[in-house]
Amino acid sequence: MAVEMHLAEVNSQQIGDEQERVSPLKSLSITFTLNDKTVSVAVDAKEILIDTLRESFGLTGTKKACGTGDCGACTVILDGKAVRSCILLTAMVAGKNVLTIEGLGDEEHIHPIQQAFVDAGAVQCGYCTPGMILTAKALLDENPKPSAEEIKEALSGNLCRCTGYTKIVEAIEKAAQELA
Protein backbone atom coordinates (compact mmCIF):
# COMPACT_ATOMS: atom_id res chain seq x y z
CA MET A 1 0.00 0.00 0.00
CA ALA A 2 2.78 2.39 0.94
CA VAL A 3 4.45 1.57 -2.34
CA GLU A 4 1.36 2.37 -4.36
CA MET A 5 0.93 5.67 -2.58
CA HIS A 6 4.54 6.59 -3.18
CA LEU A 7 4.21 5.67 -6.84
CA ALA A 8 1.09 7.78 -7.12
CA GLU A 9 2.99 10.74 -5.71
CA VAL A 10 5.81 10.19 -8.14
CA ASN A 11 3.46 9.92 -11.08
CA SER A 12 1.70 13.13 -10.16
CA GLN A 13 4.89 15.15 -10.39
CA GLN A 14 5.40 17.35 -13.38
CA ILE A 15 8.96 16.48 -14.25
CA GLY A 16 10.61 19.41 -15.94
CA ASP A 17 7.75 21.76 -15.12
CA GLU A 18 9.30 25.17 -14.49
CA GLN A 19 6.81 26.06 -11.78
CA GLU A 20 7.86 22.96 -9.92
CA ARG A 21 11.57 23.47 -10.51
CA VAL A 22 11.79 27.04 -9.23
CA SER A 23 9.80 26.52 -6.04
CA PRO A 24 11.57 27.37 -2.78
CA LEU A 25 14.55 25.39 -1.64
CA LYS A 26 14.72 23.84 1.83
CA SER A 27 11.46 22.12 1.14
CA LEU A 28 12.37 18.86 2.82
CA SER A 29 11.61 18.31 6.45
CA ILE A 30 14.03 15.88 8.02
CA THR A 31 13.62 14.40 11.49
CA PHE A 32 16.45 12.64 13.25
CA THR A 33 18.03 12.24 16.66
CA LEU A 34 20.77 14.77 17.33
CA ASN A 35 22.76 14.46 20.53
CA ASP A 36 19.96 12.46 22.17
CA LYS A 37 17.19 14.89 21.19
CA THR A 38 14.67 14.43 18.40
CA VAL A 39 14.99 17.34 15.98
CA SER A 40 13.31 18.39 12.75
CA VAL A 41 14.89 20.69 10.25
CA ALA A 42 14.01 22.09 6.82
CA VAL A 43 16.74 21.36 4.30
CA ASP A 44 17.43 21.45 0.60
CA ALA A 45 17.81 18.01 -0.98
CA LYS A 46 21.44 18.82 -1.83
CA GLU A 47 22.36 20.09 1.63
CA ILE A 48 25.18 18.25 3.37
CA LEU A 49 25.01 17.25 7.00
CA ILE A 50 27.94 19.36 8.17
CA ASP A 51 26.27 22.54 6.86
CA THR A 52 23.03 21.66 8.63
CA LEU A 53 24.87 20.95 11.88
CA ARG A 54 26.86 24.17 11.78
CA GLU A 55 24.34 26.56 10.25
CA SER A 56 20.92 25.33 11.35
CA PHE A 57 21.95 24.01 14.76
CA GLY A 58 24.99 26.17 15.53
CA LEU A 59 27.03 23.06 16.33
CA THR A 60 30.35 24.42 15.15
CA GLY A 61 32.44 21.82 16.93
CA THR A 62 32.16 19.77 13.75
CA LYS A 63 34.86 21.20 11.48
CA LYS A 64 34.79 21.62 7.74
CA ALA A 65 38.12 21.18 6.00
CA CYS A 66 38.67 19.06 2.88
CA GLY A 67 35.04 18.63 1.85
CA THR A 68 35.92 15.34 0.17
CA GLY A 69 35.81 12.84 3.04
CA ASP A 70 39.58 12.52 3.26
CA CYS A 71 40.64 14.46 6.37
CA GLY A 72 38.21 13.44 9.11
CA ALA A 73 37.73 16.92 10.63
CA CYS A 74 33.96 16.66 10.01
CA THR A 75 33.57 13.27 11.70
CA VAL A 76 30.31 12.62 13.54
CA ILE A 77 28.91 9.36 14.89
CA LEU A 78 25.96 8.01 12.92
CA ASP A 79 24.14 5.06 14.48
CA GLY A 80 27.26 4.20 16.45
CA LYS A 81 29.76 4.46 13.60
CA ALA A 82 32.20 7.26 12.79
CA VAL A 83 31.28 8.82 9.44
CA ARG A 84 32.10 11.92 7.38
CA SER A 85 29.44 14.63 7.60
CA CYS A 86 30.86 16.48 4.57
CA ILE A 87 29.91 13.67 2.18
CA LEU A 88 26.53 12.82 3.66
CA LEU A 89 23.38 14.57 2.56
CA THR A 90 21.31 15.65 5.54
CA ALA A 91 18.34 13.86 4.01
CA MET A 92 20.31 10.59 4.29
CA VAL A 93 20.20 10.72 8.12
CA ALA A 94 16.41 10.89 8.43
CA GLY A 95 15.33 8.64 11.29
CA LYS A 96 18.92 8.00 12.34
CA ASN A 97 20.98 8.91 15.37
CA VAL A 98 23.70 11.54 15.08
CA LEU A 99 26.21 12.40 17.80
CA THR A 100 28.47 15.44 17.51
CA ILE A 101 31.29 16.51 19.80
CA GLU A 102 28.83 18.78 21.66
CA GLY A 103 26.76 15.73 22.55
CA LEU A 104 29.74 13.83 23.90
CA GLY A 105 30.64 16.24 26.66
CA ASP A 106 31.30 19.86 27.57
CA GLU A 107 33.45 21.74 30.10
CA GLU A 108 31.13 20.81 32.94
CA HIS A 109 30.62 17.20 31.89
CA ILE A 110 33.87 16.32 30.21
CA HIS A 111 33.97 12.86 28.65
CA PRO A 112 36.88 10.56 29.64
CA ILE A 113 38.18 10.60 26.03
CA GLN A 114 38.18 14.40 26.03
CA GLN A 115 39.94 14.39 29.41
CA ALA A 116 42.52 11.93 28.12
CA PHE A 117 43.28 14.23 25.16
CA VAL A 118 43.83 17.11 27.61
CA ASP A 119 45.97 15.01 29.94
CA ALA A 120 48.11 13.54 27.17
CA GLY A 121 48.64 16.91 25.46
CA ALA A 122 47.07 15.46 22.31
CA VAL A 123 45.71 18.85 21.20
CA GLN A 124 47.65 21.55 19.44
CA CYS A 125 45.71 23.76 17.04
CA GLY A 126 42.62 21.70 17.86
CA TYR A 127 41.00 21.70 14.44
CA CYS A 128 41.20 17.92 14.01
CA THR A 129 40.41 17.19 17.67
CA PRO A 130 36.60 16.80 17.56
CA GLY A 131 36.97 14.34 14.69
CA MET A 132 39.77 12.48 16.45
CA ILE A 133 37.77 12.21 19.67
CA LEU A 134 34.60 10.99 17.95
CA THR A 135 36.60 8.46 15.91
CA ALA A 136 38.12 7.25 19.18
CA LYS A 137 34.65 7.05 20.75
CA ALA A 138 33.31 4.88 17.91
CA LEU A 139 36.42 2.68 18.10
CA LEU A 140 36.27 2.18 21.87
CA ASP A 141 32.55 1.43 21.76
CA GLU A 142 33.25 -1.38 19.29
CA ASN A 143 36.64 -2.46 20.61
CA PRO A 144 37.23 -1.40 24.25
CA LYS A 145 40.83 -2.61 24.35
CA PRO A 146 42.40 -1.72 21.00
CA SER A 147 46.08 -2.25 20.29
CA ALA A 148 48.19 0.71 19.15
CA GLU A 149 47.96 -0.71 15.61
CA GLU A 150 44.17 -0.88 15.80
CA ILE A 151 44.06 2.71 17.03
CA LYS A 152 46.27 3.82 14.12
CA GLU A 153 44.07 1.94 11.66
CA ALA A 154 40.92 3.56 13.11
CA LEU A 155 42.59 7.00 12.81
CA SER A 156 43.97 6.35 9.33
CA GLY A 157 41.39 8.70 7.83
CA ASN A 158 41.90 11.52 10.35
CA LEU A 159 44.62 13.98 9.48
CA CYS A 160 46.48 16.06 12.06
CA ARG A 161 49.10 18.49 10.80
CA CYS A 162 50.41 19.48 14.26
CA THR A 163 50.95 16.60 16.63
CA GLY A 164 52.57 13.80 14.70
CA TYR A 165 49.83 11.52 16.11
CA THR A 166 51.90 9.97 18.92
CA LYS A 167 50.10 11.81 21.70
CA ILE A 168 46.73 11.18 20.09
CA VAL A 169 47.37 7.43 20.14
CA GLU A 170 48.58 7.76 23.78
CA ALA A 171 45.43 9.67 24.68
CA ILE A 172 43.19 6.96 23.24
CA GLU A 173 45.16 4.28 25.08
CA LYS A 174 44.69 6.26 28.30
CA ALA A 175 40.99 6.71 27.60
CA ALA A 176 40.62 2.97 27.00
CA GLN A 177 42.14 2.28 30.43
CA GLU A 178 39.96 4.94 32.02
CA LEU A 179 36.78 3.53 30.48
CA ALA A 180 37.64 -0.11 31.17
Partner 1 sequence: MVRTEFYNPSSLAVALELLDQYRQQAVIVNGGTDVVEKIANGSIDPAAIIYIQGISELKGIGESNGFVRIGGAVTYKEILDSPLCSQFSALKQAVLEVGSPPIRVVGTPAGNLGTAVPAADCNVALMALDAVVVAASKQGERVIRLADLVVGYRKTALAANELIKEIRIPVVPGVNTASAFVKLAKRKAQDIAQVSAGVRLTVEGDVCRDIVVAMGAVNKVTVRAYSFEKLIAGKKVVDGAAAIKDMVPAEVALRSPGNDLFAARPGAKAEREYKEAVIGVVVERAIKKAYAEILGGRKSYGR
**Which residues of this protein are in contact with partner 1, per CB under 8 A?**
2-3, 6-7, 10-11, 13, 15-16, 20-23, 25, 27-28, 44-46, 48, 67-70, 72, 75, 78, 81-84, 86-89, 91-92, 94, 135, 153-154, 156-158
Task: Report the distance separating Cα 129 and Cα 135, nearest Å.
Answer: 10
Alpha carbons 95 and 14: distance in angstroms, whole number: 28
What is the residue type of 12? Answer: S
Give the nearer residue to partner 1 in terms of CB position, either 18 or 107: 18
**How near is the Cβ of 20 to partner 1 at its closest, in Å?**
7
CA distance 124 to 163: 7
Could you tell me how far CA 52 lies from the centroid of its own chain?
11
Residue 83 is classified by DSSP as E
> CB of 3: closest distance to partner 1 in angstroms?
5
Is the Cβ of residue 12 or residue 108 nearer to partner 1 in the bound state?
12
Which residue number, 22 or 180, has a Cβ lying nearer to partner 1? 22
Spatial separation of the C-alpha atoms in residues 107 and 84, rounded to whole Å: 25
DSSP β-ladder status, 97-99 and 75-78: antiparallel
The alpha carbon of 11 is separated from its chain's Cα centroid by a whole number of angstroms, namely 35
Query: Minimum distance between the CB of residue 156 and partner 1, rounded to whole angstroms?
Result: 4
Min dist CB 122 to partner 1, Å, is 19
- The least CB distance from residue 43 to partner 1, in Å, is 9
Judged by beta carbon, residue 67 or residue 112, the one nearer partner 1 is 67
The DSSP element (H or E) to which 28 belongs, if any, is: strand 28-34
* Residue nearer to partner 1 on the CB measure, 24 or 58: 24
